[in-house]
Chain A
Amino acid sequence: MIVKRILIITPLVIIILLLQSYFWVPKFDEQFMGSGKRLTQYIQGSIGDAQILNPILHADSSSAAITNKIFDGLIDRDRDLTYRGRLASSWKITAEAFFIPYTKVLSPEKIAEKIQNVKNNLNLSWLDNIISVKVIPPEKIKDPRNSSKQNNWSGVHYPKRIKLTLKKVDQNLFNKIKNTFSEKLIQDDYSLNESQSNTKRLKLTEQNPIITFDLRKGVKFHDGHEFDAKDVLFTYKSIMDNKNLSPRKSDFEPIKNIQIVNKNKIIIRYKRLYSPAFGTWTIGILPEHLLNKEYLTKESKTRKIDQKNFNLRISKFNRHPIGTGPFKFKEWRSDELIKLEKNKNYWEGPPNYSEFIYRIIPDALTQEMAFYTGTIDSYGAGVHQVNRLKKDKRFQVFSGLSFGYTYIGYNMRREPFNDPRVRKALGMAINTKQIHEFILNNQAENITGPFIKQGPHYNKSVRPITYDPKQAIKLLNQAGWEKKNGILVKNGKKFSFKLLTNHGNDIRKSIATVVQDSWKKLGIAVTFDTVEWAVFIKKYINQLNFDAVILGWSLGLEPDLFQIWHSSQTNKGQLNFVGYKNKIADDLIVKIRQEYNLKKQITYAHKLHRIIATDQPYTFLYNSKWTALLDRKIAILQKAKNGKSNAKKITATKTGSYSFDFNKWIKFSTSPSFESKF
């Protein structure tokens, strides 16, 4: 019977055909024997795919991981977080200061002369800082916002001003001038005989920091074109171009103008004192010759896209980037892999790996499986996963502190959170140690303030608040809360509120349970709820409609806390949603972002840290740790001058980056024993 035979044979054939393929697949031990190519590949597993491979446009961590390998910035951070030159070989930060002189007593020329005289006679270090004093003629400065209206000229008319050229930035310069001279030299009255619209935008004093970068000579883009100052200017202009929708625009907004001196020298003038602006030059530099107007017009024509709507975001460059970095782009298959190959002509010497592959595996457990079979070399391993494989001799383990913290934020506009004693008491009632141990598997540390713990701005002398429920009750009693029938009451009102966090974060949920229990013991009626992220932000955080929330901040290296802590940022939709307002803190926050001297900045930051720790607008819960696993066969390969090379164990930097020396890594066919020569 033919039908019967078909019914039996078909499934048999299919199954045999499928299963025989098993014998053709490389097993774990044979990974490297097939073609040997695997040893020169570094494969990184990632949960998510990159979105756009353009350093000025991306906003996700996957894209950042790739673009960092393809593009170089002018500078970056060294092992100990200080800046080091990349595409810039050196730099200098100077400044220019301007002020409108008070002319009722002395003429501008006389004032300039006076300052010059005092500078020559008095031996003061801040006066030494002034290189020259000049009077500049009246100026008309156009308002860039109204540049489109041609006939209707709008801008600012400046009278004669005095210009001081400075060796270094000095944020207290004008105060020092006021305090040193007995006469009034600086105009401090806006009501000059000018029109209303003019005086509004007139700056009486102004200090413009100037960064001069010397660019590295002979650096080439992956297509062979030489890198120069034009590329830096182009990168800046592309970021500022509204059409490109760059998420970095606000970082570069403080720039007043950029001036190319020659191919290898560029001067950047800033509108105002804003020290975090220096760090923004870690941004990858784009090749001007591949993205300029001419080139984009050509591309829009060949791709038949309306030129008006064409911008950097649509350009094919974002899926085939070209930079100056240690790796060149090779291939991108969406949601599968991104492949880079080594740049043999890299200015710092080529990396050891010949290929870097970013492989997308959207699930943590399957990532572990892939790692276990040797098909990926690293992945974002969870704590429990590291614990599972830690003892396996085939792997090496790294761990360090992450940049950021988790906290409970109180809405300080509402009773009773407007009382610092209450906030402190709430913090004291929570046993953070217990949270670290039982919820986070000890993969967390205490944190006491708003800065990253690895950086110098973190004030280590601030002690965390101790777990002390009895003291907490005392503080609450002082604040007027008395226990009646097991519940705290003040003026007939019960102490009750709602604790909120986003849905889907199990750690935060567990913390909420612990916290709720601790507070209940004090006699506070706490209800807890989780809300889906988008709704949580839109309806609760942005509308300032909450009592207390559990949230986390991931931070950058810059100590600028303006958006999270300054009192001007407390409106709906802004980031200081707890409504923290402290005049001294405000002053320090502004001073920190205006200070260019690291030592002074650290002093301010330490003060600010202590103030915030005392005010307790947040209960700082923990700073989590990250862990990473790596095949033990991977090590640093150093080539000595005599041609011999030796293997060195990979070590993490002070700040916990273990991949700092990535370009020197290579995979050996067996685990190398260190100190031996190869």
Chain B
Amino acid sequence: MITFFIRTCLFKLVTLVIISIVSFLIIHLAPGEPSQIDPLNPRFQKEDLERYRKTFNLDKPLHIQYFLFYKKFFSGKLRSFKDNQPVFPKVWERFMNSLPLFIVGTILTWGLAFPLGVSSSLKQDSLIDKGTTLFSYLLISMPSFFLAYLLIIGTVYFLQTPVLGIQTFGQEDASFLFKINDRIWHLVLPSLLGATAGIAVLSRYVRAQMLEVINQDFTQTAHSKGLSQERVYYIHVLRNAALPFVTMFGLILPSLIGGSVIIESIFAWPGMGRLAFEAILTRDYPIILSLNFISAVLVVLGTFISDILLVAVDPRIRL
């Protein structure tokens, strides 16, 4: 057990170092420079551009830039090129904005995907099954930004309610109940959209898993020993079918960062995805690389957690 821990940790550390090097190289090899360095701005003279490059350490060789960057990163002194704010508080603030979206989205995904998947597997080839299949494929194949626009335009024209941002303006003096519901309303569309693809895909998986387990011998046994239908399906089958999903739980961690770029941009939601997107547009290297590194850490951590979870729930697996 302990040797397993040490070995995995070492492996993951090496992976992280390699990721940090590769991502650093990719960002610096990509064309373009931080938006502060704009050679076409008539206000800038050559010396101005050089001054910027020097302050951003962009005039040094790549390997030295790499060490300087990660030295600052780990000492917490990293600052964004764009507004000179320290990177970590900035990321944290955005993280707290994205968190409600992520939580409600996840609840919606898992809360709706399971009932849908289970019900369509129990009534295989029925109208409900075919209906949910069609619906799932529709959701999977429709680009989320398109669906977002449809929903926004629909709500605005028919319900005449604001849907963008975290809350409505000009209501700062309203009562608490009012405010909290205003916030919830603003969460509805973006979190629903964030969940659509998840619901569609996950319910398909649930259905497939259920069907696989239903056809196994022990299900037959359970049926023949006279258990009620419900008991067989919801206790014996579902429990076994749910095993792979436990591991998926660990893997949703990284989507905390990457999952919502489009939705956050469309809904003017000041979250992590937006932060990353804007940083890429302005070539804000400290932000891009930090987010990249953090999400790499999350992926590594996620796989680790799902390994542990699997061991915890499935007694057949030993380390």
List residues of chain A with CB under 8 Å of any chain B CB. Answer: 1, 3-4, 7-8, 10-11, 14, 17-29, 31, 34-35, 37-38, 41, 43, 48-49, 51-52, 59, 242, 245, 247-251, 313-314, 318-319, 333-337, 357, 359-363, 365-366, 369-370, 372-375, 532-535, 537-538, 541-542, 563-564, 573, 575
Chain B neighbourhood of A26, CB < 8 A:
161-162, 168, 171
List residues of chain B with CB under 8 Å of any chain A CB. Answer: 31-33, 36, 38-46, 48, 51-52, 55, 79, 82-85, 90, 93-94, 104, 107-108, 111-112, 114-115, 118, 149, 152-153, 156-157, 159-166, 168-174, 177-178, 181-182, 184-185, 187-188, 192, 230-231, 234-235, 238, 265-268, 270, 274-275, 278
A370 touches B184 (CB 8 A): no
Known: A4-B230, A248-B43, A563-B42. A25 touches B156 (CB 8 A): no
Chain A neighbourhood of B52, CB < 8 A:
245
Known: A366-B266, A573-B39. A18 touches B188 (CB 8 A): yes
B43 touches A251 (CB 8 A): yes
Known: A18-B184, A34-B170, A542-B39. A369 touches B156 (CB 8 A): yes
The 7 residue pairs across chains A and B that have the minimum distance between CB atoms: A534-B32, A38-B170, A24-B181, A21-B185, A21-B184, A28-B160, A335-B270
Smallest Cβ distance from A325 to chain B, in angstroms?
A: 21
B172 touches A37 (CB 8 A): yes
B93 touches A375 (CB 8 A): no
**Given A10, A25, A242, which contacts B162 in the complex, CB threshold below 8 Å?**
A25
Smallest Cβ distance from B284 to chain A, in angstroms?
A: 10
Of residues B104, B156, B159, which shows the largest number of chain A Cβ atoms within 10 Å of its Cβ?
B156
Of residues A43, A362, A542, which shows the largest number of chain B Cβ atoms within 10 Å of its Cβ?
A362
Chain B neighbourhood of A250, CB < 8 A:
43-45, 48
A21 touches B182 (CB 8 A): yes
17 A-B contact pairs sorted by A residue (CB < 8 Å)? A3-B234, A18-B192, A21-B185, A24-B177, A26-B162, A28-B161, A34-B170, A52-B84, A250-B43, A318-B84, A334-B83, A335-B94, A336-B165, A360-B268, A362-B278, A366-B152, A533-B32
**Given B39, B181, B185, B230, which contacts A537 in the complex, CB threshold below 8 Å?**
B39
B185 touches A25 (CB 8 A): yes
Q: How far is the CA of A564 from the CA of B41 in the complex (A)?
A: 11
B111 touches A242 (CB 8 A): no
**Given B115, B160, B169, B182, which contacts A359 in the complex, CB threshold below 8 Å?**
B169
**Given A22, A372, A532, A563, which contacts B185 in the complex, CB threshold below 8 Å?**
A22
Chain B neighbourhood of A22, CB < 8 A:
159, 161, 185, 188
Chain A neighbourhood of B38, CB < 8 A:
59
B46 touches A359 (CB 8 A): no
B270 touches A35 (CB 8 A): no
**Given B104, B149, B164, which contacts A361 in the complex, CB threshold below 8 Å?**
B164
Taking CB as reference atom, which chain B residue is nearest A562?
B42
Chain A neighbourhood of B163, CB < 8 A:
369, 373
Smallest Cβ distance from A550 to chain B, in angstroms?
A: 14
Known: A10-B111, A22-B161. A31 touches B44 (CB 8 A): no
Smallest Cβ distance from A536 to chain B, in angstroms?
A: 9
Known: A7-B115, A24-B178, A28-B160. A366 touches B173 (CB 8 A): no
A534 touches B162 (CB 8 A): no
A537 touches B40 (CB 8 A): yes
Taking CB as reference atom, which chain B residue is nearest A306?
B77
**Given A14, A20, A245, A366, which contacts B107 in the complex, CB threshold below 8 Å?**
A14
Smallest Cβ distance from B76 to chain A, in angstroms?
A: 11
B173 touches A37 (CB 8 A): yes
Q: How far is the CA of A314 from the CA of B83 in the complex (A)?
A: 9
A18 touches B187 (CB 8 A): yes
Smallest Cβ distance from B23 to chain A, in angstroms?
A: 19
Chain A neighbourhood of B235, CB < 8 A:
3
A313 touches B160 (CB 8 A): no
B268 touches A363 (CB 8 A): yes
Q: How far is the CA of A48 from the CA of B277 in the complex (A)?
A: 12
Taking CB as reference atom, which chain A residue is nearest B181?
A24
Chain B neighbourhood of A363, CB < 8 A:
265-266, 268
Taking CB as reference atom, which chain A residue is nearest B117?
A7
**Given B36, B159, B164, which contacts A366 in the complex, CB threshold below 8 Å?**
B164
Smallest Cβ distance from B198 to chain A, in angstroms?
A: 14
Smallest Cβ distance from A155 to chain B, in angstroms?
A: 21
Q: A362-B268, A373-B163, A538-B39 are in contact. List 20 more A-B contacts (CB 8 A).
A: A1-B230, A3-B234, A8-B115, A21-B188, A25-B162, A25-B185, A27-B161, A35-B171, A245-B52, A247-B41, A248-B43, A250-B43, A250-B45, A313-B84, A314-B79, A333-B270, A334-B270, A359-B169, A361-B164, A375-B165
Taking CB as reference atom, which chain B residue is nearest A553?
B42
Chain A neighbourhood of B192, CB < 8 A:
18
Q: How far is the CA of A68 from the CA of B9 in the complex (A)?
A: 53
B39 touches A247 (CB 8 A): no
Q: How far is the CA of A481 from the CA of B187 in the complex (A)?
A: 67
Chain B neighbourhood of A59, CB < 8 A:
36, 38, 41, 43
Q: How far is the CA of A375 from the CA of B186 in the complex (A)?
A: 13
Of residues A23, A41, A250, which shows the largest number of chain B Cβ atoms within 10 Å of its Cβ?
A250
A4 touches B111 (CB 8 A): no
A369 touches B184 (CB 8 A): no
Chain B neighbourhood of A43, CB < 8 A:
169
Chain A neighbourhood of B79, CB < 8 A:
314
